[in-house]
Amino acid sequence: MQSSDDDTDQTYGYFDDQNYEYVITTPYTPTPWINYLGSNEFYGIISNTAGGYCFDRDPKFRRLTRYRYNSVPLDSGGRYFYIRDENDFWSATGRPATTQLDQYSCRHGMGYSRFNASKNGIATQVTSFIPLDTKAEIHSLVVTNHTQSTKSIDVFSFIEWCLWNAEDDGANFQRNLSTAEVEIEGSTLYHKTEYRERRNHYGFYSVNRQLDGYDTNRESFLGPYRGFDRPEVVEKGQANNSFARGWSPIASHHLKLELAPGESQSLEFVLGYIEVSVDHKWHSKNVINKQPAKDMLTRFDSHEKVMDELGKLNRYWRTLLCKFSVETPDDKFNRAINIWNQYQNMVTFNLSRSASFYESGIGRGIGFRDSNQDTIGFVHMVPEKVRARILDLSSTQKFDGSAYHQYQPLTKKGNANIGGNFNDDPMWLVLSTTNYIKETGDFSILQEMVIYDGQEQATHDHFDHLLRAFMHVINNLGPHGLPLIGRADWNDCLNLNCFSDDPNESFQTTQVGASDVAESVMIAGQFVLYGQEFVDLCQQVGKIELANRSMKHIEKMRKTIEQHAWDGEWYLRAYDSRGKKIGSHKNSEGKIFIESQGFCAMAGIGLNDGKVEQALRSVDKHLATDFGIMLNQPAYSQYDKYLGEISSYPPGYKENAGIFCHNNPWIIIAETMLGHGEKAFEYYRKITPTYLQNRQTLLKTEPYVYCQMIAGKDAANPGEGKNSWLTGTAAWSYYAATQYILGIRPVYQGLSIAPCVLPSWKLIRVQREFRGAQYSIEIHNPHGLSSGKITLSIDGQPVEGNVISSSSFNGQHTVIATMV
């Protein structure tokens, strides 16, 4: 066990690997530390005190419950349970009631969260999850009387309904305060706002026990001008049985529990979403058809049934996660790879960049660039979903090879407001597709017929989309022969053609002036790297002529980069709209950038003449900090309209010299390509959350997932994190760790083994499911190497080279790889 010495400061929580959980020990974390519920279409975000909301498919258009972003108090709105014992009351999830608990913990697990609290000898446990294939949150509450006497306890549940469209819900009050409608039947509180008109869906909140009261009107439940911390109804101990008409509808159940000494009672709460076909909307005039809700409720009407569903969910996650597991001498590495990084990868698949503590759920659609990259983090777990996602992305490509920058998940159409011309976008489709084929061996994706944007009927196959992506770069070269940057490349904030001086303009979508001058070295490197992948793919499918023709473009680009994009000690970042260098020692600020070093190095440009080695040394010298590698240095101290948003941020934040974690793995991969196992690992552990437990207070964000950005050295608090969870960092870190540090890398022929690890790692065990076979791999490192040659045996038989050829195997196999 290495690096356990890092774990001494666990102010707010710790890992429980046995249960695949992170245990949070106080309601008062530096920011709300969230988890995600749901695995398909229906999702919830839930904080360590049950704050958050749930939605069906789209957090903007189908939001069930109301949440207040950046609110006071922080983290306002959630699934609350108030426990009242005589005149004392508290929250079973630690907040919003402010009563100090005798015990509190929140355990964020894989797709569920569990809240334990106790006070006055009354213990509660809330288990929150979304069962498989179910459009409902389950909140299972168990109350136990640990005292010596019988206890009369009041339980009040609480959620607040969102009027479906989350953006309108927070703006259009002149309408919304007049529209709310509910129905109440038995123990189920139904929310049917707008159902009488164009909606064919409603929500409900139910519990499997007869009610002692209820409330559906918020002000009635809370009392005048009160917060969630002390609802009037809870304070007085009796529901008002309020019936919401307009204003703000809520759902609150009141239940009286009589508990003998030692007795436990359980209550199963179901917060569900129902769609009904137009023909079956109504039971009778203005009375909704409740049958589908009742049908759903029968699945969760006992504690046993609910726990059974939780068991299914646990097995689902274990099955996903065990497709790739590792046992190295470093527990933190194992924990990252086996549990949290894979989990975060799946969340980025489900949520893209839509809903987190930092993404308000009313902003972005599915990003073309983001989602293509994300696939490299979970293709081994859900290859069939990746295949569908890639084809969705492909279908928003335009006929000239460019792509819509985002598409809307409900319509799967490109988002016209945002448009295209982010010139790195197309080549990411080559990465996702080739990586998918290498994982699965499924070349048939290339023959799928896929529309181009605006087409009704597909006229070309997916391979053609890749070709047009490739040619889009070649067809859009600038004065030096480098790719034109367009609105922006991977760095959304380097806006060389915007020239904005209006603070209400979006840097990304406002485009003024010439766009045929500014060039991106990052796209150039990306083109060489993924262009080579395209060539390899052509060769795999027998398109030798096309491969050769394409190779010439790549060679030419490689030479162009060497000629025009080398600054002496590192690669330039770009040429601006006036043809001036960016990321050069000649600049006074922004002398060096990480992105072009990463991509030119990964592409091996200048590998033979020492340029890669030199570029990486420069990264280490100028950009590396204790908290990760910064994006650029020196930070821009002033706004420059020729650079755009990057220079709008205060120094040290975001793209202006922040540690933008997404790109750190590019350097890690490049270091492994040079065989620098220790350097690669050093960079890896600086940003990987399992190593950051002693930094919980500084980091502020959840110490079990990557965040997009850590403040750089120019910031007020270097090391402070922001924008956790939904970041490409997750996929890239996983990709770097598994395919380049561990070196377990799918190739067209099979699985290659090429580790680049710490010399101290003498034995690594890997379990890997791959193309229908199950491999138990042992990597032996008897000489304490970082990298080098591999000798391989499969099921005891020596094998030439370092590739496990997939064509030969099914079933279970033992692989011994020895570093020599």
Instruction: Kindly list the catalytic residues.
Output: 492
Out of 103, 286, 291, 319, the residue judged to bind its own copies by CB under 8 A: 286
In whole angstroms, the minimum distance from the beta carbon of 170 to its own copies comes to 7
| Closer to its own copies by Cβ: residue 137 or 169 | 169
Contact criterion met (CB below 8 Å) for 127 and 95: no
- Please spell the DSSP secondary structure of 294-340, one letter per residue: HHHHHTTSSHHHHHHHHHHHHHHHHHHHTTEEEE-S-HHHHHIIIII
Could you tell me the two tokens for 643?
Answer: 């650079």
Q: Which is nearer to its own copies, 72 or 416 (CB)?
A: 72
- Provide the 3-class DSSP secondary structure of residue 742: coil
Handedness of CA 163, 165, 168, 174 (dihedral sign): negative
Closest listed residue to residue 195, CA positions, set 205, 183, 207, 177 = 183
Q: How far is the CB of 549 from its own copies (least distance, A)?
A: 41
Task: Tell me the CA distances in angstroms from 175 to 93, 163, 251, one per residue in order.
Answer: 34, 11, 21
Candidates 76, 636, 725; CA nearest to 355 is: 725
Whether a cis peptide bond, with omega within 30° of 0, leads into 292 is no
User: Is 413 among the residues that bind its own copies (CB under 8 A)?
Assistant: no
Least distance CB 179 / its own copies (angstroms):
7
- How many residues contact its own copies, by CB under 8 A? 78
Instruction: Please answer whether residues 236 and 206 qualify as being in contact, where contact means their C-beta atoms are separated by less than 8 angstroms.
Output: no
Could you say which residues in the range 693-712 bind its own copies, by CB under 8 A?
Answer: 708-709
Q: Does 284 bind its own copies (CB under 8 A)?
A: no
Contact set for its own copies, span 72-91 (CB under 8 A) = 72-77
Q: What are phi and psi of 146, to 5 degrees?
A: -95, 5
Q: Is 222 helix (H, G, I), strand (E, B) or coil?
A: helix
CA distance 49 to 117: 11
From 224-232, 310-318, 435-443, 773-781, give the range in contact with its own copies by CB under 8 A: 224-232
Per-residue tokens: 167 = 């953006």
- Binding residues for its own copies restricted to 153-212, rule: CB under 8 A: 160, 164-165, 170-175, 177-179, 181, 194, 196-199
Q: Which of residues 2-41 bind its own copies (CB under 8 A)?
A: 27-28, 30
Q: Which stretch binds its own copies (CB under 8 A): 33-41, 223-231, 537-545, 811-819?
A: 223-231
Interactions with its own copies, residue window 439-478 (CB under 8 A)? none
Exactly one of 97, 362, 473, 742 binds its own copies (CB under 8 A); that residue is 362
Write out the binding residues for its own copies, residues 476-535 only, by CB under 8 A. 500-505
CA atoms within 13 A on the CB side of 452: 16
Given the complex with its own copies, which of 229 and 301 has the nearer CB atom?
Answer: 229
Between β-strands 581-582 and 803-805, what pairing exists: parallel, antiparallel or unpaired?
unpaired
Based on CB atoms, which residue is closest to its own copies, 94 or 383? 94
Binding mask 95-114 for its own copies (x = CB under 8 A): x-------------------
Residue 348 C-beta: closest distance to its own copies, Å:
14
**Contacts of its own copies in 627-686 (CB under 8 A):** 637-639, 641, 647-650, 653-654, 658
Report the distance separating Cα 216 and Cα 226, nearest Å.
16
Instruction: Compute the least distance from the CB of residue 729 to its own copies, in Å.
Output: 13
Q: Report, in Å, the least distance between residue 317 CB and its own copies.
A: 27
Q: Which class for 504: exposed (0-12), middle (13-18), buried (19 or more C-beta within 10 A)? A: exposed
246 interacts with its own copies by CB under 8 A: yes
Whole-angstrom distance, CA of residue 223 vs CA of residue 212:
19
**Omega prior to 96 cis, within 30 of 0:** yes
Residue with Cβ nearer its own copies (449 or 716):
716
> What minimum distance in Å lies between the beta carbon of 668 and its own copies?
24
Between 711 and 764, whose beta carbon lies closer to its own copies?
Answer: 711
**C-beta of 164 vs 190, nearer to its own copies:** 164
Considering the complex, state which of residue 246 and residue 568 has its C-beta at the smaller distance from its own copies: 246
